[in-house]
Every structure is written in structure tokens, then in C-alpha cells.
Amino acid sequence: MSQTVTSPASTDSASGRLQTLGMALPELRDNAYYVHHRTVGSSIYISGQLPYKDGWLLGQGTVGRDVELETARSLARHAVLNCLAAAVQAVGDLDRVRIVQMLVFVASTPDFGEQSQVANAASDLLIEVLGENGRHARTAIGVAGLPLNSPVEIQMVCTAV
């Protein structure tokens, strides 16, 4: 089954499309224990990003028990914005980012089974903002727990175009 996702047509730049969606890339805070991205050859590895906004974790709990599906989808969109911010740190401009692979970790109950629906929210945003450069290989994984009891964490591999 194939699904087409359309992007806002009001602008030709990825930054403009992001702004049209009412979103902006966040400032990422430095961490003493890891870097937000590492470039090896032409690949850029983005560290796992949680759904932080303005320094605050936007949610905690387990999807399917404490966190509803739609809330988890919103949190995935915030986590992927943080990934994009790390990618821009690496390449300098959102229009130069191409997503290669995305791993979406969802802290969920064993019977939840809709991790891909959570991941779809992040995938949709990437395609809306980056167009073809946002299409990616993807894995959505249910896990028992994530750092700081976050419901979602996203890790990426990208490249510059």
C-alpha cells in the first residue's frame, strides 16, 4: 500500500515549508556526554533525540498505558524537529539535508502494536518539509523504557546534498 504525502506549496525552501507549518528548529543544548551529530565520510549520524521543546521534555510515560497514540505522534514530531536541528548543525542549511534512515523507539506496552503509527507522524513531517530528501528507510521499535521516561526517541542517519 502506497501513500502520497503532499508538502505545503507556498514556498520552495525547506525552511519556508517548516515556517508555513508554524514550526521552527529548536536550539540544541550541549551535552557533556555525547554530541548531537557525528560525520563519518558522507554520512551524518544523529544521536537519539527526545521530544524536548525550550529545554523541557514534553511528555513522560508509556504509550498504550499513560500516553495516548495522538500524544505520542505529537511527541514524535517534536523529537524529529530536534533531529533536523542536529542535521542543520552538521550541514549548515535545512535545504542540504537528506534523510537516509530513521529509527523510532516507542516506550510502549507489550500489546500496543502501533509503533509504526507513532513513527508515521515523524515521517510525514520529514516529507512535508524536505520533500524527496525526507523519504527514508525506517524502523519503529517498541521498547520497555527510554531515557527520562520519555515515550519517544528518534535516531537518524542523513547526508548532505
pLDDT tens figures, 17-75: 999 999 999 999 999 999 999 999 999 999 999 999 999 999 999 999 999 999 999 99
Query: Residues 91-97: what's their mean pLDDT?
Result: 97
Residue 159 clears pLDDT 80, i.e. is over it = yes
Work out the mean pLDDT of the chain and round it to a whole number.
Answer: 93
Give the predicted TM-score (pTM) of the model.
0.91
Q: Are strands 52-53 and 43-49 parallel, antiparallel or unpaired?
A: unpaired
At 12, is the pLDDT very low, low, confident or very high (cuts 50, 70, 90)? Answer: confident
Residue 121 clears pLDDT 80, i.e. is over it = yes
